[in-house]
Structure 1
Amino acid sequence: MKIYWNGESKNIIGKRLKQLRQQQNISQRILAARLTLSGIEFSDLTILRIERGERFVPDYEIAVIADYFKVSADYLLGRTEQ
């Protein structure tokens, strides 16, 4: 499997994730705990690394994050503004 990286960020959703988290005024630790309730393990370090673009994000995690924030995966990926 080849993993693509543009040399700057290992994911597309980091900026939107941070924005959504800050709009809800919750910490990375609280977000990680709430996302973990979906059955997929997240830590505050995981959230930090996603937001900084230091971590690849698999599709199943994008789906969990989108469901939590009640947005589409396309929104997280920057493909739509809705």
Structure 2
Amino acid sequence: MPKPRSETGDKNFISDRLKSLRKEHHMSQRELATRLQLLGMDIDKNVITRIETNKRYVTDIELQALAKIFGVSYEALIDGVDKP
């Protein structure tokens, strides 16, 4: 069975928001990968590139780690809008 994709064929909803948050925090892809590694994620710079270019799925565990690093909610990562 094929993995699900969005209506537009995307593999994740966070690609644009992740790139935007990373740049807002003046963080390179390598720096983000290092921070994720410190949280126990097996992620390198190439994985960040694949997520940001929508060529890789994101697990719930990775989503949780990204939200923690950027201090945002899951909704902010997925929808681009934080709950009030």
* TM-score (norm. length: structure 2): 0.88
The aligned residue for residue 25 of structure 2 is 24
For 1:5-16, list aligned pairs within 5 A.
5-6=5-6, 8-16=9-17
User: Offset of 1:81 from its aligned partner?
Assistant: 1.5
Hey, what's the Cα distance between the residues in 1 that align with 2:37 and 2:2?
28
The aligned residue for residue 38 of structure 1 is 39
Hey, what's the Cα distance between the residues in 1 that align with 2:24 and 2:45?
17
Hey, what's the Cα distance between the residues in 1 that align with 2:26 and 2:42?
21
Equivalenced residue count is 81
Question: Which consecutive residues of structure 1, in runs of 5 or more, have no partner in the other structure?
Answer: none
* TM-score (norm. length: structure 1): 0.90
Are residue 74 (structure 1) and residue 82 (structure 2) matched?
no
Are residue 63 (structure 1) and residue 61 (structure 2) matched?
no
Question: Which consecutive residues of structure 2, in runs of 5 or more, have no partner in the other structure?
Answer: none
Hey, what's the Cα distance between the residues in 1 that align with 2:3 and 2:75?
20
Hey, what's the Cα distance between the residues in 2 that align with 1:33 and 1:54?
20
Q: Please, what is the CA RMSD of the aligned residues? A: 1.5
Structure 1 runs, 4 residues or longer, greater than 4 Å off: none
